[in-house]
């Protein structure tokens, strides 16, 4: 599948881009032959640091990733957390001065890419190194964490000889773009808190927004995400899994691991864990598990097929 050494493979997840890689389009100017490792320091063709990418043009990004690391931001217009995260990624990428390119994919308009990346929960951020996918994170995270992730990506890219740059040819275009609609005040307050890593304050802002408008879907999704981030922020992954394995009927321990699974993108594992737990408990002990399931359904999205499947099983268990 790849000539990428183990350092890059350590980031790689179960993402199959073979159907896209096999599409025969001419490589962009400056891209090497497939499988070739670019010379250290060799620049890529000049162009935008931030690019809107489609099913039809994605092969160019795959080829470009042989020269410079590419960060793929999978988003949708209806996704509130996406609107918070995307400007942060763009800012960090631009500050890196052409050492990283950002490819933005609207999953609603590009179903082939959505299927290829298995993007059933967004925002989803993936890196490409020499044409190989490397999942980075899901959900909105603070700017400092974005910087840390991209710093790590650059280190791994350098270990694999992917050290080119792109000449920033998109500054005039960026200046000409209309300004994005500002976030509502409480959403902006929540986003600032997320950037600071203060998830409790972000949750308070979203809760206020929901009091003002109980039908604010973006605030509801944001609240679920920041609550999740707050719960997993200081958890030791290995220790949590060990405790849960030793106490399969301990609801608190299973809830912690389910949160970790959701945060890590293992959505089905989280739902199955909690549904199995729910089924094993008596009626009095089921409440917290049901509440957590409902909250996590909101984090992933009601239309997600994994949520639909899990919600159906929960309904059957209830009635």
Choosing from 44, 53, 74, 82, which is the catalytic residue?
82
Residues 216 and 93 in one domain: no
Q: What's the confidence (pLDDT) of residue 20?
A: 43
> Would you say residue 70 lies in a domain?
yes
The domain tally of the chain equals 2
In a shared domain, residues 86 and 213: no
The answer to whether position 179 is within a domain reads no
The whole domain housing 227 covers 185-318
Question: What is the CATH classification number for the domain harbouring 309?
Answer: 1.25.40
Looking at the structure, do residues 10 and 157 belong to the same domain, yes or no? yes
What pLDDT score was predicted for residue 18? 42
* Residue 79 known to be catalytic: yes
DSSP assignment of the chain equals -----HHHHTT--S---HHHHTS--PPPTT---TTPPPPTT-----B-SEEE--TTTHHHHHHHTTTS-EEEEEE-TT-HHHHHHHHHHHHHHHHTTTSSEEEEEETTT-HHHHHHTT-SSSSEEEEEETTEEEEEEES---HHHHHHHHHHHHHHHHHTT------B--HHHHHHSPPPPPPPHHHHHHHHHHHTT-HHHHHHHHHHHHHH-TT-HHHHHHHHHHHHHHHHTT--HHHHHHHHHH-TT-HHHHHHHHHHHHHTT-HHHHHHHHHHHHHHS-GGG-HHHHHHHHHHHHHH-TT-HHHHHHHHHHHHHH-
Asked if residue 209 belongs to a domain, the reply is yes
Which is the catalytic residue, given 50, 71, 79, 141?
Answer: 79
Of the three residues 147, 174, 201, the one that is the final residue of a domain is 174
11 with 47, same domain: the answer is yes
Question: Does 15 map to a domain?
Answer: yes
- Of 143, 174, 205, which one is at a domain's C-terminal end? 174
Whether 180 maps to a domain, the answer reads no
What CATH number corresponds to the domain at position 21? 3.40.30.10
Q: What is the pLDDT along the chain (319 residues), one digit of tens a residue?
A: 334 333 333 333 334 444 444 433 333 333 333 333 334 344 434 458 999 999 888 888 988 999 999 999 998 887 878 888 899 999 999 999 899 999 999 988 888 888 888 776 788 899 999 888 888 888 888 888 899 999 999 999 888 888 888 876 544 444 444 455 677 899 989 888 887 888 899 999 999 999 999 988 888 888 988 898 889 888 898 999 999 999 998 999 999 999 988 887 788 999 999 999 999 999 889 999 999 999 998 888 777 788 889 999 999 998 8
Residue 32: inside a domain, yes or no?
yes
């Amino acid at each position: 599948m790849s000539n990428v050494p183990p350092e890059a493979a350590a980031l790689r997840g179960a993402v199959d881009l073979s159907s896209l890689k096999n599409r025969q389009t001419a490589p962009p100017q400056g891209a090497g032959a497939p499988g070739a490792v670019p010379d250290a320091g060799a620049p890529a063709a000049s162009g935008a640091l931030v690019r809107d990418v489609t099913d039809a043009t994605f092969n160019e990004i795959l080829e470009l990733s042989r020269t410079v690391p590419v960060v793929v931001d999978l988003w949708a217009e209806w996704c509130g957390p996406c609107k918070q995260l995307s400007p942060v990624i763009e800012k960090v990428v631009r500050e890196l001065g052409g050492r990283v390119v950002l490819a933005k994919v609207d999953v609603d308009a590009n179903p082939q890419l959505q299927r290829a990346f298995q993007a059933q929960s967004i925002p989803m951020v993936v890196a490409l190194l020499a044409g190989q996918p490397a999942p980075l994170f899901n959900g909105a995270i603070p700017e400092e964490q974005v910087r840390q992730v991209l710093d790590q990506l650059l280190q791994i890219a350098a270990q694999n000889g992917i050290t080119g740059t792109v000449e920033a040819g998109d500054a005039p275009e960026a200046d000409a773009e209309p300004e994005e609609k500002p976030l509502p005040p409480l959403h902006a307050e929540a986003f600032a808190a997320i950037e600071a890593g203060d998830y409790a304050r972000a949750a308070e802002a979203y809760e206020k927004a929901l009091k003002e408008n109980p039908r604010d879907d973006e605030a509801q999704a944001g609240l679920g995400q920041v609550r999740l981030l707050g719960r997993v922020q200081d958890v030791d992954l290995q220790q949590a899994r060990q405790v849960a394995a030793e106490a399969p009927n301990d609801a608190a321990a299973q809830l912690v691991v389910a949160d970790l699974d959701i945060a890590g993108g293992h959505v089905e594992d989280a739902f199955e864990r909690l549904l199995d737990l729910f089924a094993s408990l008596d009626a009095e002990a089921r409440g917290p598990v049901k509440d957590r399931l409902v909250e996590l359904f909101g984090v992933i999205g009601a239309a997600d097929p994994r949520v639909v499947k899990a919600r159906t099983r929960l309904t059957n268990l209830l009635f």
